[in-house]
Structure 1
Amino acid sequence: MAKYVMWGTYCENVLEQRAPYRAEHLQGLQQQKDSGVLVALGPTFDNTKVFGIYEAESEAAVRQLVESDPYWKNGIWTGYEVYAWNQVF
């Protein structure tokens, strides 16, 4: 499987805005991690960007995961880009 990185942006006041969706978001991420598709995901220290690493069949599969996340559906993530990644180390 190929590896992909995802860079995204958060809405304003993300810490307050995410509260109603956080449990569902984390549950979904744990399921992705358990299935092996999600390698790592988390915010930058200033909570303005999100970064993720995925092992997936295709870029479209990663986009489907992102766009089915409650953070995307409810405007917590406001934009994202996916890149195929050539891991050297």
Structure 2
Amino acid sequence: MKYFAVFLPMLNLEKSQEYRAQHLDFLQQKREEGKIFANGRFSDNSGGLVIYRVSSIEEVEEIVRQDPYVIHKARDFEIHEWEMVCDATLPY
């Protein structure tokens, strides 16, 4: 498995608030599928970050395009493969 950092920069704050519950439900589903390592919003309302744990960039792009935030143009997205360096004990 590989890690992908997905930035979700804000496009429309009003739409982001409107689709927040759907976005969080979507993330919970992906978390239950074992595809999310971590996620969170930026405190300055500029967007958020999701770190996916999947096999390919094609897989993560397919997932991200299903996110309600992206579908409804509340957020844009930018994907980067992430070579994590960490001393923490990881759940995987």
When normalised by structure 2's length, the TM-score is 0.82
Larger proportion of strand: 1
Query: Structure 1: which 4+ aligned runs deviate by more than 3 Å?
Result: none
Aligned Cα root-mean-square deviation (Å)? 1.4
Alignment of 1:11-22 (within 5 A): 11-12=11-12, 14=13, 16-22=14-20
Q: Percent identity?
A: 30
When normalised by structure 1's length, the TM-score is 0.85
Q: 2:23 is matched with which residue?
A: 25
**Pair 1:37 & 2:32 matched:** no
Indicate how the Cα distance of structure 1 residues 80 and 18 shifts in structure 2: closer, same or farther if over 3 A, else same: closer
> Structure 1 counterpart of 2:28, which letter?
Q
Aligned residues: 86
Using the TM superposition, give the Cα deviation of residue 75 of structure 1 relative to its aligned residue in structure 2, in angstroms: 0.9
- 1:20-60 deviation line (CA, Å, top 9, x unaligned): 32222211110111111011122211111211111001111
Larger proportion of helix: 1
Which consecutive residues of structure 1, in runs of 5 or more, have no partner in the other structure?
Answer: none
